Amino acid sequence: MGISDLTAQRLSVYLRCLEDLARSGVRSISSQRLAGRLHLNSAQIRKDLACFGEFGVRGVGYYVADLREQLTRILGLDRCHRVAIVGAGNLGMALADYGGFNSEGFSIVALFDSDPAKVGGRTRRDIPVEPMESLPEIARREHLGIAILAVPAAAAQHALDLVGRAGIRAVLNFAPAPLVPPPGVILKGVDLAVQLENLAYHLSRGVAGP
Amino acid sequence: MGISDLTAQRLSVYLRCLEDLARSGVRSISSQRLAGRLHLNSAQIRKDLACFGEFGVRGVGYYVADLREQLTRILGLDRCHRVAIVGAGNLGMALADYGGFNSEGFSIVALFDSDPAKVGGRTRRDIPVEPMESLPEIARREHLGIAILAVPAAAAQHALDLVGRAGIRAVLNFAPAPLVPPPGVILKGVDLAVQLENLAYHLSRGVAGP
DNA sequence: ATGTGTGAAGTGCTTCACAGCG
DNA sequence: CGCTGTGAAGCACTTCACACAT
């Protein structure tokens, strides 16, 4: 069966919840109770998990430690991913220092910027800002696997191409531009302006129903 | 017909593209050419627009200035939305100064934080950090309509409830927690960790196909 | 008794394909 | 002829409901 992106995203949510449960000392949990915590349908959870194996125990549920381990492996979080951030503006700097990324799974190695005035600086957590030109070299030396694009829209496609040529094969794009990934590169977009405008849209159409 | 969230989000994308086109002096554009720019299907664009009226001219396409105006109105961007940011950490501060929000449609009025050490400070763009307790008062005085939640997961539900009680009816949540919106509040989530982990997942499953 | 795994039904989104208008 | 607007088909995701395992 083909695993959809939505399924993979929910696995991340499940994993996060399982880590909470493990910290609370919970040993096992049913899809029903997990669904309650996450405000999802329990069949959805069972189907998502069943894509990758039979992790549950009938009459019991899922063992937290076991499932946590399985999901960590499935999501590729059993090894550390080395991340570059391209664009050292407000957003790039903040993302570099953002504590919300599963800190075991990801390590922000460097920021890159084409503005010489920014190069040489460091974030509060001491991540260095490197010149754009050294991206290919550093990418290979440091084994960077993921890039986060936080550049202006006009520079985004160029930056993406550069990143692709440097051998980085996965990119998270924050620039508000419709980009074409180079062959072999996985591209995901997060468009903050669209999300905010979506709220404006809902506000102008009256308030949420039940 | 019920308008889906996905449609509304695409309208934002269309609007942004139309603003570019207007700046370039383009007078009219067909759904085909718009689709080419945005890497979408042209029928999708026509269907999305048809939800709200017959804006096109057969044999010609859509007049850029006219459609731009219509979409601005539909999305509720013909008036300015006053925005609060809750949580003055890395992310909250960066979002407050982020230039990517359609600057005519949104105005970030204040940040709020429960940490007294942060209160009284200002962002680089001079937006003040206020104490959490004054949120209800400032929300009403300043007519705040939207809140952005950039607090830790553990504090998010509490912050959301507070924001709801202050009369704010639309919230964009960055905290990695499954929240329940108070009645009448529209809630959208952006989960940065999930997006990044999704890339890790794709990397661990081999490279993107055609 | 409890709760998984799953075929089948239900729902919603996308794409096709074409009538009809300018 | 070019292009919109749209019914119908196609596809994908979600939910139901139940056989079956413990």
| pLDDT value of position A208 | 46
Question: Residues of B with CB below 8 A from A207's CB?
Answer: 169, 184, 186
- For residue A207, name the pLDDT band (cuts at 50, 70, 90): low
DSSP letter at A4 equals P
Per-residue pLDDT reduced to its tens digit, A34-77: 999 999 999 999 999 999 999 999 999 999 999 999 999 999 99
pLDDT more than 90, % of chain A = 94
Q: Is the pLDDT reported for residue B208 higher than 60?
A: no
| pLDDT value of position B104 | 85
Catalogue the E-assigned strands of chain B: 28-29, 62-63, 81-86, 106-113, 129-131, 146-149, 170-173, 186-189
Spatial CB neighbours of B6, under 8 Å, sequence gap ≥ 6: none
| pLDDT value of position B136 | 98
The total number of residues shown for chain A amounts to: 210
| pLDDT value of position A209 | 38
Cβ–Cβ below 8 Å for B90 and A102 = no
Per-residue pLDDT reduced to its tens digit, A142-158: 999 999 999 999 999 99
Inter-axis angle of helices A5-23 and A64-74, to 10 degrees? 140
Chain A interface includes B163 (CB < 8 A): no
The set of residues with CB closer than 7 Å to nucleic strand D is: A 2, 4-7, 40-41, 43-44, 46-47, 57-59; B 30-32, 42-43, 46-47, 49-50, 54-62
State the pairing for strand pair A106-113/A170-173.
Answer: unpaired
Task: Kindly report the number of other CB atoms within 10 A of residue B14's CB atom.
Answer: 22
- Token look-up 């620039």 returns A175
Mean pLDDT of B159-171: 98
| pLDDT value of position B2 | 81
Whether B134 and A191 have beta carbons less than 8 Å apart is answered as no
**DSSP helix/strand/coil, A101:** coil
| pLDDT value of position B81 | 98
- What pTM does this model have? 0.95
Per-residue pLDDT reduced to its tens digit, B91-125: 999 999 999 997 889 999 999 999 999 999 999 99
Chain B interface includes A181 (CB < 8 A): yes
- For residue A104, name the pLDDT band (cuts at 50, 70, 90): confident
Question: Residues of B with CB below 8 A from A123's CB?
Answer: none
Rg (C-alpha) for chain B, rounded Å, is 20
Chain B interface includes A134 (CB < 8 A): no
Q: Is the pLDDT reported for residue B207 higher than 70?
A: no
Identify which of A9, A15, A197 has the shortest CB distance to residue B12.
A197
- For residue B210, name the pLDDT band (cuts at 50, 70, 90): very low
pLDDT more than 70, % of chain B = 98
Mean pLDDT of B7-33: 98
**Lookup: tokens for A210:** 């039940």
**DSSP helix/strand/coil, B21:** helix
Q: What is d(CA B75, CA B104) in angstroms, rounded to the nearest whole number?
A: 13
Q: What is d(CA A11, CA A113) in angstroms, rounded to the nearest whole number?
A: 33
Spatial CB neighbours of A89, under 8 Å, sequence gap ≥ 6: A113, A150, A151
The total number of residues shown for chain B amounts to: 210
Q: Is the pLDDT reported for residue A110 higher than 70?
A: yes
Cβ–Cβ below 8 Å for B170 and A145 = no
Q: What is d(CA A90, CA B97) in angstroms, rounded to the nearest whole number?
A: 7
Q: Is the pLDDT reported for residue B197 higher than 90?
A: yes
> Does A87 contact strand C, using a CB cutoff of 7 Å?
no
Mean pLDDT of A161-181: 98
Q: What is d(CA B133, CA B53) in angstroms, rounded to the nearest whole number?
A: 45
**Lookup: tokens for B57:** 């001219």
Task: Kindly report the number of other CB atoms within 10 A of residue A20's CB atom.
Answer: 15
**Lookup: tokens for A197:** 């405008």
DSSP letter at A21 equals H
Per-residue pLDDT reduced to its tens digit, B64-84: 999 999 999 999 999 999 999
| pLDDT value of position B1 | 72
Encoded amino acid at B23, one letter: R
Which nucleotides of chain C are near protein (any atom < 7 Å from a CB)?
1-7, 12-17, 20-22
Chain B interface includes A164 (CB < 8 A): no
Which nucleotides of chain D are near protein (any atom < 7 Å from a CB)?
1-7, 12-17, 20-22
